[in-house]
Structure 1
């Protein structure tokens, strides 16, 4: 498929023990981009493979040219770190990420890139509507997608699809850690408006070579990572609100319990051996601890933002900083505050 709009393009593919898929992948990428009118490069990131993946990547570079860039990591750091390495080293204005197991189809790349440029978006995420996986992978993924949509407010059907197209200037402003690659749209929503994030149905193939690196254990890691994403999206610049809310809730529950026991004591009932007494004291202590943690977190947050001159907002990358070369409007000679135009004087007095 030929795109009418094109930009320098970087395709990032993390690979781990995919020696059988390297050559077919590179061939399919070249076939898919045969009519692409812009410059492009293919970054194959080897995530510490124990097979011949690195050797196959180097052979592909020799066969196809220097635009095929091998990026060998020193050991297995995980898919997120491998993806981050490729994004850091990408030189294109548009960055595509995809899996190296041939389940994503490179034929979709021009269509996704064209939509990103045509609609002036920051991310077009792939949606595997007809996913070719077994139910052990589909069911946890379906549940995770619903949970992520509910908590992050970014309305996508398929967060786990690695086929995504980004504007480089936006994705390079996001740092990925742990297993956070599946939450890239949510992280991106901290940099740009959700209206600049879209999804597109993409082709999905069953795995024909190599072995899957996914299992049910990832479901639990998704839940833990989701808590972190939710916190950073909502409370990174105001952690005291998060811990304060928890502390206030626990404190109120403990206070209500103690008030009830006080009434019971006044009425002459014995409360010394009642479990509610210990639970109420525990809730009050947890509330105090949460509140103090919130204060300390607020201090750390402000120290971080002020010491590193980190902004709590983001301007569009193509935002024209109007005023850099423009002069202030000055009062006309002999007219204080530019009275003729109803202006404001230097002292802020309204004319």
Structure 2
């Protein structure tokens, strides 16, 4: 099969007939064999009923319905597990992503050898309350990941089959899939300008809380990707640094007091100095962080996946 189109959706019953008809038209024109996988993320409208009716007209439709709303990342993860196509394309169900982009995205993966192609909605129709935070997140993600993409959060993306079968998407990590792919060893990641269409039906399903959750997930990706198999390098380094900083401050306090005694100068008790308490906190925190790294290392060494590594090729 050439293409799997994975479409997560939540309360999008009005747009679904137009979307699948548009996808099918594009596929027929370019002679692609395809499947359209709709993941109903616990919709409370007629979305599932509409999908069931559309299945009678379009045999390429496959669908999965959650019992409740789990979020876009969960929907994509389930969709990726079900996808069978050589190239997997994701798009939103609200018609703001154009299926006409599919052939070009497919070509970038199949013909040019990319692992991931991320869409870039260069001209957007979103309100400023959404575009400004998005720009900030894109800048932060570029800085932390080293991946030079302008629009990490674009729902229109294309993936090589191996990529979606390797990564796991959860939390709010759907916007950071290129980062997950890079940490998994898929380094050929590109970008393509795509059309962003104004919303035709309904309202956006995302609130401001997604930006907070997205930032926390970005920190999780960065930490797990860099230190997941060697937590002692992170906690131990910070712990040792904090511990010795505390020791240096404590030595300074003692030396200063002794110098005042030798020269018959007035001096304060050690416990009367703020530096004493800073030194104490630094020593305690340093010890705790070192122990946390030690415990994390023990847990990691006993984890069943501690020696699982992604192998691209092998010759026997």
Q: Give the structure 1 partner of residue 264 of structure 2.
A: none
Aligned equivalents of 2:315, 2:209: Cα separation in 1: 51
Aligned equivalents of 1:246, 1:101: Cα separation in 2: 46
Match of 1:48 among 37, 42, 57: 42
Contact 1:15 1:100 in 2 (8 A): yes
Q: Give the structure 2 partner of residue 262 of structure 1.
A: 254
| Unaligned ranges ≥5, structure 2 | 261-266
Which deviates the most, 24-33 or 95-104? 24-33
Q: Give the structure 2 partner of residue 331 of structure 1.
A: none
Match of 1:219 among 177, 192, 211: 211
Contact 1:137 1:215 in 2 (8 A): no
Asked if 1:70 is matched to 2:63, the reply is yes
Q: How does 1:173-322 map to 2 (within 5 A)?
A: 173-194=166-187, 196-268=188-260, 269-270=267-268, 271-304=270-303, 307-308=304-305, 310-311=307-308, 313-316=309-312, 319=313, 321-322=314-315
Partner SS state of residue 44, structure 1: strand
Match of 1:110 among 98, 103, 110: 103
Contact 1:112 1:165 in 2 (8 A): yes
The offset of 1:31, in angstroms, is 2.2
- CA-atom RMSD in angstroms: 1.5
Partner SS state of residue 28, structure 2: coil
**TM-score normalised by the chain length of structure 2:** 0.94
Aligned equivalents of 1:260, 1:309: Cα separation in 2: 43
Q: Do the aligned partners of residues 94 and 193 (structure 1) sit closer, same or farther apart at CA in structure 2, a change above 3 Å counting?
A: closer
Aligned equivalents of 1:97, 1:247: Cα separation in 2: 43
Deviations 1:29-83 (A, max 9, x none): 1122222333100001100011111111111111222x11121111111110011
Q: Give the structure 2 partner of residue 145 of structure 1.
A: 138
**TM-score normalised by the chain length of structure 1:** 0.85
Contact 2:229 2:306 in 1 (8 A): no
Q: Give the structure 1 partner of residue 21 of structure 2.
A: 27
Runs of 4+ with deviation above 3 angstroms: 307-310
Contact 1:140 1:216 in 2 (8 A): no
Q: Give the structure 1 partner of residue 83 of structure 2.
A: 90
Partner SS state of residue 272, structure 2: coil
Q: Which has the higher helix share?
A: 2
Deviations 1:278-316 (A, max 9, x none): 121111111111111111111111211xx34742x3222
Aligned equivalents of 1:252, 1:119: Cα separation in 2: 52
The offset of 1:215, in angstroms, is 2.5
Aligned equivalents of 1:46, 1:193: Cα separation in 2: 29
Asked if 1:15 is matched to 2:9, the reply is yes
- How many residues get paired? 309
Greater C-alpha radius of gyration: 1
